[in-house]
């Protein structure tokens, strides 16, 4: 649960609608040119949705702190069964957030790339910011 924050008068929500219905076409065109295509934004939203689960977030955070972990290690850390962790890892793999790596008879998981850790670090910084 996100901690409550007090709001000063300048931070309080304002009316969501403009008093007048006027579109600034020049501004809209500028932004439209720079806006990513819908399929890219959809992919980004799906990535964030994959991270929007406390268990998956804990798995990713654990992999940030330890370069690679096996399912047994992750299950112990997050307090979920091995089959539950495998299910979560399958989802994270499908979104290219983690990747498996075989080492003999063991399979280890690691973050797919450094961007994943940066996303989580930014979110953690944001929610812990005063």
User: In the prediction, which pLDDT does 19 show?
Assistant: 80
Q: Helix/strand/coil (H, E, C) string of the chain? A: CCCCCCCCHHHCCCCCCCCCCCCCHHHHHHHHHHCCCHHHHHHHHHHHHHHCCHHHHHHHHHHHHCCCEEHHHHHHHHCCCHHHHHHHHHHHHHCCCEEEEEECCEEEEEECCHHHHHHHHHHHHHHHCC
pLDDT (0 to 100) of residue 16: 72
Low-confidence ranges of the chain (pLDDT < 70): 1-15
Ordered by where they begin, the domains of the chain are 23-128 (1.10.10.10)
């Amino acid at each position: 649960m996100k901690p409550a924050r007090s709001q000063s008068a300048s931070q309080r929500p304002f009316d969501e609608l403009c008093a007048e219905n006027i579109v600034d076409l020049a501004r809209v065109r500028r932004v439209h040119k720079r806006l990513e295509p819908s399929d890219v934004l959809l992919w980004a939203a799906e990535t964030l949705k994959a991270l929007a689960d406390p268990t998956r977030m804990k798995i990713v955070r654990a992999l940030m702190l330890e370069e690679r972990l096996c399912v047994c290690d992750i299950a112990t850390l997050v307090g979920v069964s091995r089959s539950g962790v495998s299910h979560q890892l399958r989802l994270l793999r499908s979104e290219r957030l983690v990747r498996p790596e075989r080492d003999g008879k063991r399979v280890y998981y690691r973050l797919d790339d450094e961007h994943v850790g940066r996303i989580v670090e930014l979110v953690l910084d944001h929610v812990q910011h005063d």
